[in-house]
Amino acid sequence: MPANVLYGQAGGVTAVINASAYGVIQGVRRHRDRFGRIYAAREGIIGALREDLLDLEREDAATLDALRHTPGGAFGACRYDLGPLESHHHQYERLMEVFAAHDIGYFFYNGGGGSMVTAEKVHVAARQMGYPLTVMGIPKTIDNDLAGTDTSPGFGSAAKYVATSVREAALDVASMAESSTKVFIMEVMGRHAGWLAAASGLAQEQREDAPQLILFAERAFHRLEFIQRVQETVDRLGYCVVVASEGLRDPDGRLLSVAEGNDVEDWIQLGGVAPNLAEMVRRDLGYKVHWALPDYLQRSARHIASATDVEQAAAVGERAVELAAAGENGRMPVIRRQSDEPYEWSVDTVDLARIADVETTVPEAFIREDGYHITEAARRYLRPLIAGESWPPFVNGVPAYARLEGFPVERSLAPYELDEQVAPQKGSSEQGANGGA
């Protein structure tokens, strides 16, 4: 009999991660001769360890199809690290016991860089322990920092939300600047990578349009220079809109959102750059300032998702199944760009071992020479990723999203206590920054 499939979601969720789940489900449906039942692990690897599985075969087919336009993590996601196989052998023994108890031969893990570390660990452990398991990673992160892929599913929709919000907020600020707010600061996610900050640059049609200043995680922040730039912009235009990465650092490498003397930044939830910058502007220039922290809004705004992003998210999920059906193992589907104009792309694959926990930051060629905006090369790269609209259905004026029944799979093993986490995952906001992905 064909082995069963287990799918899990991990890390900060996105507006399109469920589109990847939809792609996996569609792929399994097309290969019923190759796969058995399809299950989902509640809260990712945590559910796998706890034997907390959901039976997707019992869900209504139309509800599963609606995952394509539903944000959030339909099955629950987690931030949880597996330890090294050598010192945490019991974790992997438990996983293999759960897999064996439910005849699971395929494990699809949908997440960012840290989640691909987990997928690779499970892949290696199964091989060393002699358990017949195919492991495939499925990429997602709004940070766009996954290695080996042209873009990360989830980024395009978050980028579209950020660019749209900046353009709209700027019109508000400009209309009131004479007698009210003169400076508006928006802080976006990105612990080490300034991709979302860069995406805000797409709001600018002409050189003087907002955002006038972009602060990248890749560039050191200089207070006096920043204040001077704000002053010059207000003098010239009457107002100034700033977009800042949450991972902004000073020339000594200290995060602006972290209190002095705190040297364990990997444990810290970021968020606080915008109010810090606002206070600098108030103190040094005396302007009225407003700031905003989109937080979860930027990663959950499915109502304004990029059509490109939705299509790519579904495509990598389906491709992961195709690869598994063809006998591939320990791989992750990735997006390959063939051209910018017209935008053409395909789905390729890379080994999990090559990309697990490897970050890709904004290249120098994408940051303007003065360090405060994006280049035309960045625009050519970013524009196709936010292209197109993929509206969810609306009922009574609000989006109608999938609501799963959540049919539990009967447990057959003893309860399992999770190990206490001794450290958060390494990496970008996928791993514990300001709600990142």
As a whole number of angstroms, the distance between CA 288 and CA 281 comes to 8
3-state secondary structure of 103: coil
pLDDT the model gives residue 259: 39
Residue 272 is predicted with a pLDDT of 87
Tokens of 436: 């990142």
CB 31 within 8 A of CB 134: no
Please tell me the predicted confidence (pLDDT) of residue 261. 36
The b/e string for 229-240 (b: 16+ C-beta within 10 A; e otherwise) is bbbebbeebebb
Helices (H), 326-429: 352-355, 376-382
Are the CB atoms for 228 and 248 separated by under 8 Å?
no
Question: In one letter, which amino acid is 411?
Answer: R
**What pLDDT shows up at residue 311?**
98
Under a CB-based contact definition with an 8 Å cutoff, are residues 113 and 142 in contact?
A: no
CA dihedral (305, 308, 313, 314) positive or negative: positive
Contact yes or no for 355/116 (Cβ under 8 A): yes
d(CA 320, CA 137): 7
The closest of 118, 106, 122, 126 to 326, measured between CA atoms, is: 106
The rounded distance, in Å, linking the Cα atoms of 37 and 29 is: 10
pLDDT number for residue 260: 37
Give the distance from CA 314 to its chain's centroid: 15
User: What's the pLDDT tens digit per position in 177-198?
Assistant: 999 999 999 999 988 899 999 9
pLDDT of residue 258: 57
- The confidence score (pLDDT) of residue 271 equals 58
Residue for token pair 């052998």: 89
Q: How many CB atoms lie within 10 A of CB 391?
A: 12
Phi then psi dihedrals of residue 122, to 5 deg: -65, -40
Determine the Cα–Cα distance for residues 92 and 98; give it in Å rounded to an integer.
10
List the domains of the chain with CATH numbers.
Answer: 4-140+302-357+389-431 (3.40.50.450), 155-300 (3.40.50.460)
Low-confidence ranges of the chain (pLDDT < 50): 259-269, 423-437
For 85, list phi and psi in degrees, rounded to 5: -60, -35
C-beta contacts of 401-404 below 8 A and 24+ residues apart: 401/66, 401/69, 401/70, 401/71, 401/302, 402/18, 402/63, 402/64, 402/66, 402/67, 402/69, 402/70, 402/74, 403/63, 404/54, 404/59, 404/63, 404/74, 404/75
Angle among Cα 207, 213, 216 to the nearest 5 degrees reads: 125
Distance CA 243, CA 173 (A): 14
Distance CA 33, CA 2 (A): 7
Yes or no: say if 64 and 75 are a contact pair by the CB < 8 Å rule: no
61 Cβ contact list (under 8 Å, min separation 6): none
In 3D space, the residue among 284, 114, 82, 103 whose CA is nearest the CA of residue 183 turns out to be 284
| The residue to which tokens 């447990």 are assigned | 411
110-133 pLDDT tens trace: 999 999 999 999 999 999 999 999
DSSP secondary structure string for all residues of 134-164: EEEEEE--TT--BTTSSS-TTHHHHHHHHHH
- Given CA atoms 391, 199, 149, 137 in this order, what sign does their dihedral have? negative
| 143 catalytic per annotation | yes
Q: Which of 52, 55, 81, 143 is catalytic?
A: 143
Cα 68 to Cα 62: distance, rounded to the nearest angstrom = 11
